[in-house]
Structure 1
Amino acid sequence: MKRLELGNSGLEVSDISLGCMRMDQLSTSEANRVIENALEQDINMFDHADLYGKGKSEEIFADAIEMNPSIREKMVIQTKCGIRDGFFDFSKDHIISSVEGSLKRLKTDYIDILLLHRPDALMEPEEVAEAFNELEKSGKVRHFGVSNHNPMQIELLKKYVDQDLIANQLQLSLMFTPMIDAGLNVNMEHDPAIVRDGSVLDYSRLNDMTIQAWSPFQHGFFEGVFVDNDQFPILNEKLQEYADKKGVTKSAIAVAWILRHPARIQTIVGTMNPERLAGIAKASDIHLTREEWYDLYRVAGNDLP
């Protein structure tokens, strides 16, 4: 498994991370199998959120590995906060209380990375800065970042916070590519040319922020997976062609397509199936040529100008 540095943090992580959103649906023994398998695949980063399973995913994760210092040292644990029941909340009190809850559920003394989950329209960046300073000073959080934020929202935060924002978690898959489409359709009068995200891909590269791709197998926004989906026969034929050529699964090719981008994007994979994860993990060692990358992009329904 290849490693990448999150931002300029010095934190070396696997380029594929295990997303733990669905871990609340597993028994402790099932979760243990998933986590141990991830570690065997040399995946060292685990992505959580206080929202996942209303906290149960974090609890099961800790119980499954019988959290102790020796196993904690092998892991990079990331969690997110800011989504509440029907609204978003970046207040100082909520950020701190959310971290305290995650620490308790995860049975650990510190979080490696804390992300602000979705933009809060009522954010007061001064409060966020106070929360980050308190959490960093106490040693409860070591690094910070955001999720689903655009460049100007990040710039507003950066004006006030003292810490580097090392990551931005954003939706990206072979069939959800708006951050790539706009950069390919510059000066064109059709929908893919519309910049919807403030050029967040280029912004991230210019500012040394690691993009973490969530839902790497989804088409649209939670509309379902495209791998082995009868709605997309031509794409799946092409994925199978490259899977056979490279000796991996179709899902591994879909992840390899993301990893091929020179922005060094980290992919968050949420499968709770150990065998499937083992197959996906091989994507880290697969190299797609420029021709193969563009071939998949076009077959996924995208036209080049």
Structure 2
Amino acid sequence: MSQLPLDRFLPGVSALAYGCMGLGGDWDSRPVEARHVKQAHCAIDAALEAGINFFDHADIYALGKAESAFGRALKERPSLRDAVFLQSKCGIRFEDAKAPKRFDFSAEWIRASVEGSLDRLGVETLDVLQLHRPDPLMVPEEIAEVFTALKAEGKVRHFGVSNMQRHQLEFLQASLEAPLVANQLELGLHRLDFLEEGVLANQPEGATSNFTPGTLEYCRRHGMQLQAWGCLSQGRFTGRALDDQPASVQATAALVSELAEHYRVSREAIVLAWLRRHPANIQPVIGSTDPARIAASGEAMTITLSREDWYRLYVSARGGELP
């Protein structure tokens, strides 16, 4: 595979990212415990041993406890900070006394979120900050102002987004001085709209695709890193019980097992290598806290699927031949 687009901004960044959503325990107000910090240590070590040095956070994960557990692990082993890249996200606010769940890209909330993440992680700088989900009330000029200030203060090196389509990206980027470096979307063998949107162009079936035309191409043309969340498909193709799943899922799981044996890697590696085979150089974000599964995922960086095997998986997962 060729170099990740993100490597232009963060030289040496790994082809896989570790998503920290599962760290920190339950999503409640109870404090971080020693066992949560131990879990963070184990996840960090497993990721680094697998060749993964990019860690993806969000201010809302475990209501902030994911960042706190990770931060306590960093505090106990300060040398780790130089070995990892840290990304966090902001913009989602849960229901409170003032309003229902909502999105907030106001300068005040972005700044407060960044300072909260830095405090919980115990670091001075985020390598990447992403806006988590599109805010219908966003004002690009306001976002640009706070982004510029946060970068000048050394609190954030680079900025990106998550779950945004092409038109939103263009609208926001037009007001920013620095390029958006990443866009994190749900992509995988279970979410094929990013491919279907293109191959079903001028086909009646294309009307059901839930992916904005041109998003993939926009990110590739502008050197924006595509990151894939949910990329292991909640285990659908790597060992989860499939009795209640459609025939296409069961057939694809069998094919994944066949290819894992052929390439002599784990099933997780095949699922992730399928994403990595795309010329956009997608960076999968894995979220398992199981060290064995993290190691299995790391094997994806050791293989490149053939064009034929990539299409075998795609056609199987979509449940029918291409037009």
TM-score past 0.5 threshold: yes
Q: For 2:214 and 2:76, locate their aligned partners in 1 and report how far apart those are by CA, in whole Å.
A: 40
Q: Is the 8 A contact 1:67 1:108 kept in 2?
A: no
Cα 1:137–1:67 shift into 2, 3 Å: farther
Deviations 1:114-150 (A, max 9, x none): 0000000000111101110110000000000100001
Q: For 2:65 and 2:263, locate their aligned partners in 1 and report how far apart those are by CA, in whole Å.
A: 38
Establish whether residue 287 from structure 1 lines up as the match of residue 298 from structure 2: no
Deviations 1:80-123 (A, max 9, x none): 00000100000000000000000000000000000000000000
Greater CA deviation, 210-219 or 4-13?
Answer: 4-13
Cα 1:192–1:115 shift into 2, 3 Å: same
Establish whether residue 299 from structure 1 lines up as the match of residue 310 from structure 2: no
| 3-state SS in 2 of match to 1:176 | coil
Structure 2 partner of 1:4? 4
Q: TM-score, normalised by structure 2?
A: 0.88
Q: TM-score, normalised by structure 1?
A: 0.93
Q: For 1:3 and 1:76, locate their aligned partners in 2 and report how far apart those are by CA, in whole Å.
A: 17
Structure 1 partner of 2:112? 97
Q: For 2:57 and 2:76, locate their aligned partners in 1 and report how far apart those are by CA, in whole Å.
A: 15
Establish whether residue 278 from structure 1 lines up as the match of residue 295 from structure 2: yes
Q: For 1:198 and 1:67, locate their aligned partners in 2 and report how far apart those are by CA, in whole Å.
A: 46
- Partner amino acid for 1:16? L
Structure 2 partner of 1:227? 238
- Which of 138, 150, 158 in structure 2 is aligned with 1:143? 158
Cα offset, 1:199, TM superposition: 2.1
Q: For 1:203 and 1:143, locate their aligned partners in 2 and report how far apart those are by CA, in whole Å.
A: 19
Q: Is the 8 A contact 1:3 1:14 kept in 2?
A: no
Q: For 1:247 and 1:182, locate their aligned partners in 2 and report how far apart those are by CA, in whole Å.
A: 32
Structure 2 partner of 1:74? 83
| 3-state SS in 1 of match to 2:304 | coil
Structure 1 partner of 2:225? 210
- Which of 36, 41, 51 in structure 2 is aligned with 1:32? 41
- Partner amino acid for 1:123? M
Q: For 1:146 and 1:67, locate their aligned partners in 2 and report how far apart those are by CA, in whole Å.
A: 31
Aligned pair count?
301
Establish whether residue 196 from structure 1 lines up as the match of residue 214 from structure 2: no
Q: For 2:210 and 2:287, locate their aligned partners in 1 and report how far apart those are by CA, in whole Å.
A: 28
- Partner amino acid for 2:36? S
Which runs of 4 or more aligned residues in structure 1 lie more than 6 Å from their structure 2 counterparts after TM superposition? none
Cα offset, 1:185, TM superposition: 1.6
Cα 1:180–1:83 shift into 2, 3 Å: same
Q: Is the 8 A contact 2:24 2:37 kept in 1?
A: no
Q: For 1:273 and 1:171, locate their aligned partners in 2 and report how far apart those are by CA, in whole Å.
A: 21
Gapped regions of structure 2 (runs ≥ 5):
26-34, 95-100
Q: Is the 8 A contact 2:237 2:256 kept in 1?
A: no
- Partner amino acid for 1:241? E
Q: Is the 8 A contact 1:34 1:274 kept in 2?
A: yes
Cα 1:195–1:203 shift into 2, 3 Å: farther
Identical aligned residues as a percent:
42
Structure 1 partner of 2:122? 107
- Partner amino acid for 2:89? K
- Which of 198, 203, 212 in structure 2 is aligned with 1:183? 198
Cα 1:11–1:143 shift into 2, 3 Å: farther
Q: For 1:302 and 1:180, locate their aligned partners in 2 and report how far apart those are by CA, in whole Å.
A: 14
Structure 1 partner of 2:29? none
Q: Is the 8 A contact 2:228 2:284 kept in 1?
A: yes
Gapped regions of structure 1 (runs ≥ 5):
none
Q: For 1:67 and 1:302, locate their aligned partners in 2 and report how far apart those are by CA, in whole Å.
A: 52
Structure 2 partner of 1:244? 261
Q: For 1:131 and 1:195, locate their aligned partners in 2 and report how far apart those are by CA, in whole Å.
A: 32
Cα offset, 1:39, TM superposition: 1.1
Q: Is the 8 A contact 1:186 1:193 kept in 2?
A: no
Q: For 2:122 and 2:3, locate their aligned partners in 1 and report how far apart those are by CA, in whole Å.
A: 26
Q: Is the 8 A contact 1:184 1:193 kept in 2?
A: no
Q: For 2:77 and 2:125, locate their aligned partners in 1 and report how far apart those are by CA, in whole Å.
A: 12
Structure 2 partner of 1:153? 168
Q: For 1:126 and 1:269, locate their aligned partners in 2 and report how far apart those are by CA, in whole Å.
A: 33
| 3-state SS in 2 of match to 1:170 | strand
Q: For 2:67 and 2:137, locate their aligned partners in 1 and report how far apart those are by CA, in whole Å.
A: 27
